[in-house]
Chains A and B, each alone.
Chain A
């Protein structure tokens, strides 16, 4: 996938797409995710919640080669738990405003949050032109970030340490 593909997809997404989203806010989200993904090369698990352990989403594509996206959309299925609010996930909003409250808040999902993004207004290096916007994004939840360090001891190494 290259720049031309991206441009084609985004143009289709904004101008020609006849599919609907559960709410059209999601159209912006999808476009933003696509841009973040191509500009960082991150895995989608860093931007979206790919954790398991909930009712699996029924992929309408499974076992079908020629799919038509005309049937029921996944969010119309009342049994799909993906579209239900997680009660245990509601953040405790009391006491946020005090100095210590912020530390007690924890991230519920290992995805990109607002604190990972730093938006800057920067003076234009070219004199007389308008200020520029810049954005720093820190990605820290990549695959393998949680792997524990496992010292591996080969027989020859063990021998050299013991000797």
Chain B
């Protein structure tokens, strides 16, 4: 009987608290996470080995058997330092803090500003990325008939791995409730007609940036604004205001004398 009590609390105890991700090099430097971290580490001079001031030594190694892999060690003083750090004011002006972690609000400001600049129609928040990852690794949630197709197209994982990546309690259903893309990432039409869908439209339409035109200007240039004819409504209202002012001036002399009167209120 006592065991049933233990079993009841056990699922919570077995919860995974640490998750380790493996990153690899990416051919496109703009997408390569290792290059970015390497650049930050070089800036911080975080390597235990002194004198590593360029990335070149990391790409020119030639390990010989039996050595299969070599770990790059960090300086002891850097181990507890956050990777992403805040800019702070100092006597010499703004500079990166040595230990203060980047504030979430600062990043949110940068990120939203970037989305605005790139022409995203919706406000860009950090959860856009998390949701995107969740939807990309998710795949076997659809009906058995469709899952083979999704699996091949999107290289997705099982539900268990997805929950591990997203650090959700297994079987909690949080993903389905809160993260699943509201735009159905699936060509239901083709599935119903029992034919494969390969027009790429589904993929294009479930992305946020479909209406983005990064080349579009963010502001109306001044010469265009100057060239525009004045708004007829505003011209009419301005005329009315001018007329009223003249009437008040005739009747009372000054504006403040017309306070409380009908025409004064109207003005």
Q: Give the interface of A toward B (CB within 8 A).
A: 1-2, 4-14, 16-19, 21-23, 25-26, 28-45, 47-50, 57, 59-61, 67-69, 74-75, 78, 82-86, 89-91, 93, 96-97, 101-102, 105-109, 111-115, 117-123, 130-140, 142-145, 149, 151-153, 157, 160-161, 163
**14 intermolecular pairs with C-beta atoms under 8 Å apart:** A1-B132, A2-B203, A17-B117, A22-B87, A42-B167, A43-B127, A50-B103, A59-B109, A85-B90, A114-B46, A114-B80, A136-B20, A149-B13, A152-B8
For A118, the closest partner residue in chain B by CB is B71
In the bound complex, CA of A36 to CA of B102 (Å) = 14
In the bound complex, CA of A111 to CA of B130 (Å) = 17
Residues of chain B within 8 A (CB-CB) of A83 are: 86-89, 94
Do A19 and B207 touch (CB < 8 A)? no
Residues of chain B within 8 A (CB-CB) of A67 are: 116
Do B40 and A11 touch (CB < 8 A)? no
Total of A-B residue pairs, C-beta within 8 Å? 334
Give the distance to chain B from A88, nearest Cβ to Cβ, in Å.
11
Given contacts A32-B40, A38-B129, contact A50 B104 (CB under 8 A): yes
Do A113 and B79 touch (CB < 8 A)? yes
Do B133 and A39 touch (CB < 8 A)? yes
Give the 6 A-B residue pairs with the shortest CB-CB distance, closest first.
Answer: A41-B133, A1-B132, A50-B104, A49-B101, A32-B36, A44-B126
In this complex, how many residues of chain B approach chain A with their Cβ under 8 Å: the count is: 109
Give the distance to chain B from A3, nearest Cβ to Cβ, in Å.
8
Interface status of B191 (Cβ within 8 A of chain A) = no
Of residues 149 through 184 on chain B, the ones whose CB sits less than 8 Å from some CB of chain A are: 165-167
Do A112 and B36 touch (CB < 8 A)? no
Given contacts A109-B101, A122-B68, contact A30 B114 (CB under 8 A): yes
Residues of chain A within 8 A (CB-CB) of B81 are: 91, 113-114
In the bound complex, CA of A48 to CA of B82 (Å) = 9
Residues of chain A within 8 A (CB-CB) of B59 are: 130, 133
For B46, the closest partner residue in chain A by CB is A114
For B87, the closest partner residue in chain A by CB is A22
Give the distance to chain B from A19, nearest Cβ to Cβ, in Å.
6
Given contacts A29-B84, A35-B36, A149-B13, contact A82 B69 (CB under 8 A): no
Residues of chain B within 8 A (CB-CB) of A22 are: 87, 94
Do B61 and A113 touch (CB < 8 A)? no
Do B9 and A149 touch (CB < 8 A)? yes
Interface status of B235 (Cβ within 8 A of chain A) = no
Instruction: Report B64-93 CB contacts with A as 1/0, cut-off 8 Å.
Output: 010111111010111111111111111000
Interface status of B239 (Cβ within 8 A of chain A) = no
Do A117 and B207 touch (CB < 8 A)? no
Do B83 and A90 touch (CB < 8 A)? no
Give the distance to chain B from A84, nearest Cβ to Cβ, in Å.
6
Instruction: Report B129-153 CB contacts with A as 1/0, cut-off 8 Å.
Output: 1111110110000000000000000
Do A26 and B87 touch (CB < 8 A)? yes
Q: Which of A5, A16, A19, A75 contacts B208 (CB 8 A)?
A: A5
Given contacts A1-B208, A115-B80, contact A74 B62 (CB under 8 A): no
Interface status of B63 (Cβ within 8 A of chain A) = yes
Do B84 and A33 touch (CB < 8 A)? yes
Do A131 and B79 touch (CB < 8 A)? no
For B58, the closest partner residue in chain A by CB is A133
Residue of A29, A102, A131 with most chain B CB atoms under a 10 A cut-off: A29
Residue of B34, B110, B112 with most chain A CB atoms under a 10 A cut-off: B110
Give the distance to chain A from B84, nearest Cβ to Cβ, in Å.
5
